[in-house]
Chains A and B, each alone.
Chain A
Amino acid sequence: MEVSRHWRLRQQRYALVGEVCPHCDAKIFPPRDICPDCGQDAKTLYQFSGRGEVFSYTTVHDAPAGYEENAPYTVALVKLEEGPMLTAQLTDLGEQPVEIGMPVEMVTRRLREDGERGMLVYGYKFRPRLTAA
C-alpha cells in the first residue's frame, strides 16, 4: 500500500497543477520547485489548461504488474500548450488512429489497481480533443 505517496500527488494527478517560475516565467510540470530553465526557486502554483498535442506514442502489450487488465493500452509523450511535456496514457480513442501532432485534452481516469482489495490509483490521461482550442 502506498496511500500517502499517491495522496501527496493529488493536485498534479487530478487537476494538472504545476508551477510557474517567478523569475523566467517558465511553466513547469510535473512540479519540481527548482526551475529547469533558469535554476532558481519556482514554487508558485500554476493551473495548466490540460490541452496539448501528441509528441510521440506507442502501444504497451506486455504490461507491468498492476496494469495487465488494461493491456494493450496507448501511452504518449504529450506536449502541453504551455510548454512542458508529460507522459500519459491516451484514452477514449475509439476507432480514431493516433498521430503525432494530434490535439488532446486531459481527463481523469483510473491508472492502476492493486488486486481486489487494493487501492485504485486515479490520475490524468489524455483523449482526442473534443472542444475547439
Chain B
Amino acid sequence: MSRAAGIGAPVGIYVAGVGLTPVGERWERSLREIALEAIEAARADAGGLRPQALYVGNMLAPALSGQTHLGALLADFSGLRGIEATAFEAAGASGGVAVRHACLALASGAVDSALVVGVEKITDRIGSAVNAALAGAADADHEAVQGVTPTAQAALLMRRYMHEYQVPADGLAGFSLNAHANAVACEHAIYRRAISAQEYARATKVSDPVNLYDAAPVADGAAALILTRREAYPPGGPLPAARIAASAVATSALALHDQADPLAFSAAAQSAARAYAQAGLGPKDIQVFELHDLFTIYAVLALEAAGFAGRGDGWRLAQDGQIARGGRIPISTFGGSKARGDSGGATGVYQIGEVALQLQGRAGAAQVPSVRLGMAQCLGGAGATAVTHILARDESLRQGSDSS
C-alpha cells in the first residue's frame, strides 16, 4: 500500500531548478507576470531547460482574478505553448499537490522533466472580498455561512489547545519570533524584520487568542521548480543535487467540526507517516522542516503531528530554542508563512524550493549547517489536506557523470 501511494524508490526525481519571487503587494504585476518571473528564474537555475509539462498550484484565481484555466494561460504566457499543462487546487496545499502530481508524472515515465509553478495574486481584490474568498477553503454550507474565517478557525484550535494543555498566554510567541528572526536574511520575504517578545505581547488580537503576530500575512507571490528524472538532470543544473525522497498527500474531514479530534491534525500526521514510510526515515532523521505556519498554532500542531513532539508538548519546542537555526529541528528557516509571507497555493512550492536550497548549501545567511535531509509540509484549510515532501542531498549526481 505504501509503495502504491508513493513514488517508486528506484526512480530518482530531482529538483533541478528553483525560482522564488519576493512575496508582497505586487500592485504593478499581474498573476501571469509574477508566475513568469518565477518560471524564468527556475528555468535559468536549471541551465535553461525546457520542461515537457507544467503543473500549476493556485487557490484563488477564479475568485479574485476571475481567471480559471491557468495551465493553458501560463504555458502560453511563459513561451511554452503546446506543452501539457494543468492547474491543481487544494486551497493552501495547492502548490504541494502540484509538486506531488509532477512527481507522479515523472515517476511513471510519462515525462522526463516538469515545471511546477505556485502562484497567487491576492491584491487584485482587497478587504472583505479576500476574506470571503479565503473562507471558501472551509465548508461553505456549514462553516463559511456562519461567518467563520481561516483566522477564526485557527483561533478555535488555539484556544482549545491552550485550554487543554494549560499553555500560558505568550506560550506560542517563540514561533513568531523565530520566523521573523529568520526572515531578516531572506531576500524573498515580505517582513525582513525581527520582532521582540514585548511587541508580540502588545499586539492586537485579530481573533482572540490569535494576535497579529500569530497570523501570517497573505500576499502575492509565485515560486517555481524544475523537476527532472535522474537521467534528464540538466548539465547546467545546481550541484550538489536535491532529490525528492518522498511525496505524500492525505486528507481529513473538510470541516473542523467534523474532525474526530481537531487538535490531532490527522491529515498532517498521515501524510508525514506516509512520507516517512516511503523514504524509510523518521522524524529523528529530519534536519530542517518547512511547515505551514499560517498561524503559530499550526506550527505547533504540525510539529506534533509529524512526531517532533508529543501531544500537548509542541509549543515547548519554541521555548528552548529547538526550532531555531542551531536547534534540534529548525523550522521556517526563510521566515515561513509568518514572515516570508503566505501566498496561498504558492506556499507549498516556496517551501520545497527553500528546502532544496538548504540541502544544496545555497541558503546564504539562512543556511542551516550540514543539512542532508529536509522536509516540507503544506496544508489546505484548517489541515483538511496535507502534503509532505522529504528531500535528500544527493552527491552521487556530479557534473559530467553518467547520470543513468
Contact = CB atoms under 8 A, between A and B. Distances in A.
Contacts of A89: 146-147
A64 B159 contact: no
A8 to B, nearest CB: 9
Interface in B258-300: 258, 262
Contacts of A5: 141
Contact of B132 (A60, A64, A75, A86): A64
B148 A60 contact: yes
B147 A73 contact: yes
Contact of A58 (B163, B208, B255, B262): B208
B152 A75 contact: yes
A77 B262 contact: yes
A77 B257 contact: yes
Majority DSSP secondary structure for residues of A touching B: strand
B176 interface: no
Contacts of A111: 145-147
A56 B159 contact: yes
B257 A57 contact: no
B160 A75 contact: no
A61 interface: yes
B256 A77 contact: yes
A100 B146 contact: no
Contacts of A59: 205, 207-208
Given A56-B157, A63-B131, A64-B128, A9 B256 contact: no
B152 A60 contact: yes
Contacts of B146: 75, 87-89, 111, 123
A64 B144 contact: yes
A62 interface: yes
A56 B164 CA distance: 11
Nearest to A73: B147
Interface residues of B, number: 36
B141 to A, nearest CB: 6
A133 interface: no
A62 B149 contact: yes
Contacts of B194: none
Interface bin, chain A: 20 to 34
Interface in B89-136: 128-129, 131-132, 134-135
A121 interface: yes
Given A30-B142, A65-B129, A60 B147 contact: yes
A70 interface: yes
B156 interface: yes
Chain B CB within 10 Å — which of A5, A57, A60, A88 has the most?
A60
Interface in A7-31: 9, 30
B155 interface: yes
Given A30-B141, A30-B142, A77-B256, 4 more contacts: A56-B160, A65-B131, A87-B142, A112-B147
Interface of A: 5, 9, 30, 36, 55-68, 70, 73, 75-77, 84-89, 100, 111-112, 121, 123
22 contacts: A9-B141, A30-B142, A56-B159, A56-B160, A57-B159, A58-B155, A59-B205, A60-B148, A61-B205, A62-B206, A62-B207, A63-B147, A64-B128, A64-B134, A64-B147, A65-B129, A65-B132, A66-B132, A86-B257, A88-B146, A100-B163, A112-B147
